[in-house]
């Protein structure tokens, strides 16, 4: 591959003033006035801006006519519609075709890339993939990723790496430019305020709540990622000393840290829907059970999901979102390019577009997807900040709690296997 980004394009501060658009062109650079432009060049900002523009133009020229096979979870109509919109933008702006390869589990994509690499296939079937956590850890360790590339994208300069540290740490594993941040997520809970006056505020509260509402609480069956995330929340809350959870798992550390988890589940499960003998397969199924009045409590990994579902008429307007005040588990989800991708240039160009203020603001819109942005909105110009301005909506999270970093990705497989061994039959 011949594309070599300029080092100046990887600066971690915006390379254009607030009055400039998010994708500066030579014309827009000149439009700010010769005196301002010379001042920018004198400080180095102008040089960085032109370097970023040169990078974008070079990448666009090489990517034109390519097809990006974007492997992404397809379990949401709103997400699928957003990806379709982004694909249309790529075609009209850059002449790049984006094909959404709809998947149910990123682990299947990891296996496919591994098998293709082992077979010596240089023109792999995956150009870009939606990924994080244990799947990223596996691909990084096995040399299945192209990069580092993320911090060389022009729009990476707008990412809030300081305020959102998980944009550089993925399940306790340093990202090191091997994947580009795409959106933020945090475990969030939902109740119908007409049925629940005081939602449970921590896991002990949840146990008491389940006891007071037998059969009206449940969680998705692991390895569904919502179900596994719930287990990780319990694991973190039951282990005040968490150092071991942020290191690669060992049998000894797992046995010690998980012992209070199995004890807690032993008390919780008999109080759950169908006495904990069966578990819904997805969080979407649980959300529907909440809407139908069958459950009193539901969970999601998108703080804006309830507002989105209320706007779509799938949840009553009385549903409210909240998080445990002491914090809930949170992470960043990313975009990665396999080492044998056919269209690396187009994949990078697409990742850069998905980091643009326009694409990030549309994704954050409650009526579109409601996925929180990875950008530092305060560093954008007034026009771009206005794209993120939204009115409060029913179901929207009112008070965000601290985000607790994910345990090391190696804990996921151990947790899921032990849960299935104990409760999977």
- To the nearest 10 degrees (0 to 180), the angle between helices 344-354 and 45-63 is 130
According to the model, what pLDDT value does residue 139 have?
Answer: 98
At 405-419, the pLDDT tens digits run 999 999 999 999 999
Residue 368 lies in a domain: yes
Taking the C-alpha atoms of residue 11 and residue 158, their distance in angstroms, rounded to an integer, is 10
212 and 321 co-located in one domain? yes
Task: Look at 16 and 401; give whichever has higher pLDDT.
Answer: 401
363 and 309 within one domain: no
Q: Given a cut of 70, is residue 39 above it in pLDDT?
A: no
What is the model's pLDDT at position 30? Answer: 34
Q: Over the chain, what is the mean pLDDT?
A: 89
pLDDT at position 62: 95
Q: Which residue has the tokens 């379709």?
A: 84
Lowest-pLDDT range of 52-61, 177-186, 270-279, 349-358: 52-61
pLDDT value at residue 234: 98
Total Cβ atoms within 10 A of residue 18: 12
Residue 154 has pLDDT above 50, yes or no: yes
Same domain, 88 and 234: no
Question: Can you tell me the mean pLDDT for 363-385?
Answer: 93
Over residues 320-333, mean pLDDT: 97
* Contact assessment for residue 337 and residue 150, using Cβ atoms and an 8 Å cutoff: no
Q: Are residues 211 and 319 in the same domain?
A: yes
pTM: 0.80
pLDDT at 4: 40
In a domain, 299, yes or no: yes
User: In this predicted structure, what is the pLDDT of residue 8?
Assistant: 30
Task: Identify the helix (H) or strand (E) that includes residue 47.
Answer: helix 45-63
> So what's the pLDDT on residue 392?
83
Are 128 and 256 in the same domain? no
Answer with the residue of higher pLDDT: 35 or 317.
317
Residue 235 covered by a domain: yes
Domain annotation covers residue 360: yes
| Domains of the chain: total | 3
Q: What is the mean pLDDT of residues 372-381?
A: 94
Domain range for 34 is 16-63
Residues 321 and 412 in one domain: yes
Q: How confident is the model at residue 338 (pLDDT cuts 50, 70, 90)?
A: very high
* pLDDT tens by residue, 78-121: 899 999 999 999 999 999 999 999 999 999 999 999 999 999 99
Which carries the bigger pLDDT value, residue 20 or residue 304?
304
- For residues 192 and 315, membership in a common domain is answered with yes
- Asked whether residue 84 is domain-assigned, the answer is yes
Question: Of 39, 63, 87, which residue is a domain's last?
Answer: 63
Which whole-number Å values give the CA distances from 289 to 46, 202, 299, in the listed order? 55, 22, 11
| Mean pLDDT of the 224-229 span | 94
Please tell me whether residues 78 and 216 are part of one structural domain.
Answer: no
Determine the pLDDT at residue 26. 34
What is the CA 399 to chain-centroid distance, rounded? 20
**For residue 29, what pLDDT band results from cuts at 50, 70 and 90?**
very low
**Segment 208-220 mean pLDDT:** 98
Q: Is the pLDDT of residue 292 over 90?
A: yes
Six token digits for residue 299:
């969970």
Same-domain check for residues 88 and 44: no
Contacts of 365 (CB under 8 A, 6+ apart): 390
Q: Are 415 and 228 in contact (CB under 8 A)?
A: yes
Residue 100 lies in a domain: yes
Q: Work out the average pLDDT over 11-18.
A: 37
The verdict on residue 219 lying in a domain is yes
For residues 82 and 145, state if they share a domain: yes
Q: So what's the pLDDT on residue 51? A: 72
196 & 301 share domain: yes
Q: What is the pLDDT, as a whole number, of residue 75?
A: 84
Beta-carbon contacts of residue 111 (< 8 Å; ≥ 6 apart): none
DSSP conformation letters of 304-355: THHHHHHHTTSS-TTEEEE--TT-EEEEEEEEE-BTTBS-HHHHHHHHHHHT
* Residue 1 in domain: no
Looking at residue 228, which CATH number applies to its domain?
3.40.190.10
137 and 21 co-located in one domain: no
Last residue of a domain, one of 7, 32, 63: 63
pLDDT, tens only, 164-205:
999 999 999 999 999 999 999 999 999 999 999 999 999 999
Tell whether the model's pLDDT for residue 19 goes beyond 60.
Answer: no
CA 279 to chain centroid: 25
């Amino acid at each position: 591959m011949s594309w070599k980004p300029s080092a100046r394009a990887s600066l971690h501060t915006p390379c254009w003033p607030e009055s400039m658009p998010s994708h500066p062109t030579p014309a827009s650079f000149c439009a700010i006035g010769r005196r301002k432009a010379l001042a920018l060049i004198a400080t180095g900002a102008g040089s960085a801006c032109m370097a970023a523009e040169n990078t974008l133009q070079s990448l666009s020229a090489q990517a034109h006519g390519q097809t990006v096979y974007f492997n992404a979870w397809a379990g949401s109509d709103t997400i699928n519609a957003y990806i379709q919109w982004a694909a249309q933008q790529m075609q009209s702006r850059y002449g790049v075709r984006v094909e959404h390869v709809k998947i149910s589990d990123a682990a299947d994509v990891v296996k496919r890339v591994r098998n293709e690499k082992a077979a010596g296939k240089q023109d792999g079937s995956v150009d870009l993939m939606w990924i994080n956590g244990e799947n990223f850890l596996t691909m990084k360790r096995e040399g299945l990723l192209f990069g580092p590339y993320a911090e060389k994208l022009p729009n990476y300069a707008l990412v809030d790496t300081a305020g959102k540290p998980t944009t550089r740490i993925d399940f306790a594993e340093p990202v090191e430019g091997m994947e580009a941040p795409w959106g933020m997520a945090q475990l969030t809970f939902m109740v119908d305020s007409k049925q629940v006056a005081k939602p449970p505020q921590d896991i002990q509260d949840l146990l008491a709540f389940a006891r007071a509402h037998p059969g009206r609480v449940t969680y998705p069956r692991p390895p569904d990622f919502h179900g596994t995330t719930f287990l990780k929340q319990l694991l973190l809350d039951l282990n005040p000393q968490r150092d071991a959870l942020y290191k690669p798992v060992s049998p000894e550390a797992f046995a010690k840290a998980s012992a209070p988890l199995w004890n807690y589940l032993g008390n919780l499960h008999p109080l759950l829907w169908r006495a904990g003998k069966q578990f819904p397969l997805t969080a979407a199924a649980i959300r529907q059970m909440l809407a139908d009045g069958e459950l009193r409590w539901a969970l999601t990994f998108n703080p804006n999901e309830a507002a989105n579902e209320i706007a779509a008429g799938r949840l009553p307007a009385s549903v409210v979102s909240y998080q445990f005040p002491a914090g809930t588990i949170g992470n960043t989800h990313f975009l990665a390019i396999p080492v044998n991708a056919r269209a690396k240039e187009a994949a990078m160009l697409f990742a850069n577009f998905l980091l643009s203020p326009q694409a990030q603001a549309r994704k954050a819109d409650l009526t579109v997807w409601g996925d929180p942005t990875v950008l530092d909105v305060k560093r954008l110009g007034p026009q771009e900040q206005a794209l993120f301005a939204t009115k409060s909506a029913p179901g929207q999270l009112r008070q965000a709690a601290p985000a607790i970093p994910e345990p090391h990705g190696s804990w996921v497989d151990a947790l899921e296997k032990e849960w299935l061994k104990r409760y999977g039959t």
